[in-house]
Amino acid sequence: MADPGTAGTGEPVLRLTGLNKSFGPVHVLHDVDLTLRLGEVTALVGDNGAGKSTLIKCIAGIHPIDSGTIEFDGRQVQIGSPRDAAALGIEVVYQDLALADNLDIVQNMFLGRERRRGLVLDEDSMEEAARETLARLSVRTVKSVRQQVASLSGGQRQTVAIAKAALWESKVVILDEPTAALGVAQTRQVLDLVRRLADTGHAVVLISHNMNDVFEVADEITALYLGRVAAQVRRTDVTHGQVVELITAGRSGDLGLAPATAAENI
């Protein structure tokens, strides 16, 4: 198995060690270790209920962790709220996207963090920054940044939500199933955007159930099995079949959880 401590080329930006999380009597995350690197896409895979969303909500400051450490840029941090996460440069794009239909693209990208000049909103500066961010990410599908979000296609909405996350000098961008509801062409565009996010220096986490998407865009794959990390491996070191086994059985050949650990949870 590739050593997650040294396998990547990018600089580690977020490192979780021994993270545990329970909801009442239900122990959901067990001793989770995870390293995210700048310039890399880490796919987070696992069956329904494996703990993917719970894990990202711990990183995003929505759920307090019970034990374990979180290091960001080499120093230990506490992430007690979404505000703490945003201040560190951690942005999450949730599946429901949380965009406001009745507002345009610029207004959505700056929602709750508007720029002001004196008492009035600095529309020109926000419009410019929105345009720049979309251009930096080579987004060509959006015609006008003053278009209402209600009139956008599913893929364009996803694009706006991702660009919004990239706007805030974010270092870590977490995407929960960004292509789940998209057709072939729109999936293609969103995957290209995910790659460009990493290529422009972000550490990207992609939660996906789609193995084709994972193998197309990920540098690293972390498989969760019943709340445990079965493996964190380089994409080039594994096959589709191995990843499917890690997801469904927690192990695949030499990879994954020890048989006793994998079995005790069944």
Residues that bind ligand ATP (CB under 6 A): 23, 26, 28, 46, 48-54
> What is the smallest separation between the CB atom of 63 and ligand ATP, expressed in angstroms?
8
> What is the smallest separation between the CB atom of 32 and ligand ATP, expressed in angstroms?
11
Q: Which is nearer to ligand ATP, 95 or 147 (CB)?
A: 95
Q: Which does 26 bind (CB under 5 to 8 A by kind): Mg ion, ligand ATP, none?
A: ligand ATP
Residue nearest to Mg ion (CB): 53
Residue showing tokens 């959880």: 257
Q: Which is nearer to ligand ATP, 152 or 223 (CB)?
A: 223
Q: Which does 167 bind (CB under 5 to 8 A by kind): Mg ion, ligand ATP, none?
A: none
How many Cβ atoms are within 10 Å of 139's Cβ, its own excluded?
Answer: 19
> What is the smallest separation between the CB atom of 186 and Mg ion, expressed in angstroms?
21
Q: Which does 5 bind (CB under 5 to 8 A by kind): Mg ion, ligand ATP, none?
A: none
Q: Which does 259 bind (CB under 5 to 8 A by kind): ligand ATP, Mg ion, none?
A: none
| Structural contact between residues 162 and 178, judged by C-beta atoms closer than 8 angstroms | yes
> What is the smallest separation between the CB atom of 147 and ligand ATP, expressed in angstroms?
31
Q: Which is nearer to Mg ion, 44 or 231 (CB)?
A: 44
Which positions touch Mg ion (CB under 5 A)?
Answer: 52-53
Residue showing tokens 């050949």: 253
Q: Which does 51 bind (CB under 5 to 8 A by kind): ligand ATP, Mg ion, none?
A: ligand ATP
